Amino acid sequence: MQRPFPLAEYLQRIGIDAPVTADLPTLAAIHAAHVAAIAFEGLDPFLGRPVKLDLASLQEKILSGRRGGYCFEQNTLLKAALEAIGFSVTGLGARVRWMSPPGSPLGPRSHMLLRIDLHGGSYLADVGFGACLLDQPLPLQMDVEHATAMGTFRLTDAAGMIALDAKRPEGWRTAYVFTLEPQFPSDYEAANWYTATSPNAPFVSTLILERIRAGHRHRLINNRWVTEDRDAEIIADRLIGSAEEFGRVLDEIFGISPPASPQEIFRRFAPSP
């Protein structure tokens, strides 16, 4: 028998101590607090470690272990928390387009996101897209620009699918495309296995972290640390030069206690002397 979800522990982890109910203000508050408190990170696939999606493992890793995770972990955890509050939540799957050239073939459904149905309408929630974290739920409305604290987003038609676009200095950029077809745990297990193990998936060969913190978007790609402002303008971009500095950045900026030493991780992408 599955244990009840530890909602109080989750809310403490993301820094919410106010009462919660199944309404839009609570959804918005939890979404923003989650991405501020829990970093997106792909340390486990980068280190060749398994990525487990059962709630007990996610609770141990993210709630108790001072870790983050990528989309399947983050949104599985968020889904469980929202359902414990009383929200109606449907898991969806998306095909990532962020780094894809225009007109290139669609890839597999390698991303998890959530549909939240409220009395006033339906919303997209996603705390696990580590190329451009979404900091607020978005109404499932087409062709409407939504300005959040950390960006501007819209949903558009994409050949019968829905595209999530983010406004960048150079213009609109598609994060991913999706449909409203519900996904099942087995769908996520298959996609997670591919994402965590395939040489064609970025997380196996590249370390990616992102966190929204104090009005800035911090991103770590191997040892390159980029900081962006609300409008995605780069305000700092530099290479981390030592394992010691790398460990400090993981700790102080991303709030991560890694599963291996900073020295071991750094050796995987630092050039040989």
Say if 234 falls within a structural domain: yes
Say if 60 falls within a structural domain: yes
Q: Is the dihedral of CA 3, 130, 163, 27 positive or negative?
A: positive
Say if 1 falls within a structural domain: no
- Per residue in 31-70, pLDDT (tens digit) is 999 999 999 999 999 999 999 999 999 999 999 999 999 9
pLDDT of residue 101: 85
Say if 105 falls within a structural domain: yes
132 a catalytic residue? no
Q: Pairing between strand 171-178 and 40-41?
A: unpaired
126 a catalytic residue? yes
pLDDT of residue 270: 61
The total number of structural domains in the chain stands at 1
Active-site option among 31, 34, 44, 111: 111
pTM value? 0.96
Q: Of all helices (H) and strands (E), which one includes residue 158? A: strand 151-158
146 a catalytic residue? no
How far from chain centre, in Å, is Cα 221? 15
How far from chain centre, in Å, is Cα 193? 17
pLDDT of residue 1: 55
Active-site option among 44, 126, 135, 165: 126
Say if 2 falls within a structural domain: no
Q: What confidence category does residue 2 fall into, taking pLDDT thresholds of 50, 70 and 90?
A: low
Domain coverage including residue 61? 7-267
Say if 179 falls within a structural domain: yes
Q: Average model confidence (pLDDT) for the chain?
A: 95
Q: What is the CATH number of the domain that holds 191?
A: 3.30.2140.20
- Per residue in 106-155, pLDDT (tens digit) is 999 999 999 999 998 999 999 999 999 999 999 999 999 999 999 999 99
Active-site option among 71, 132, 135, 165: 71
Name the 3-class secondary structure at 53.
Answer: coil
Residue type, 71: C
Q: What confidence category does residue 105 fall into, taking pLDDT thresholds of 50, 70 and 90?
A: very high
Say if 59 falls within a structural domain: yes
Say if 119 falls within a structural domain: yes
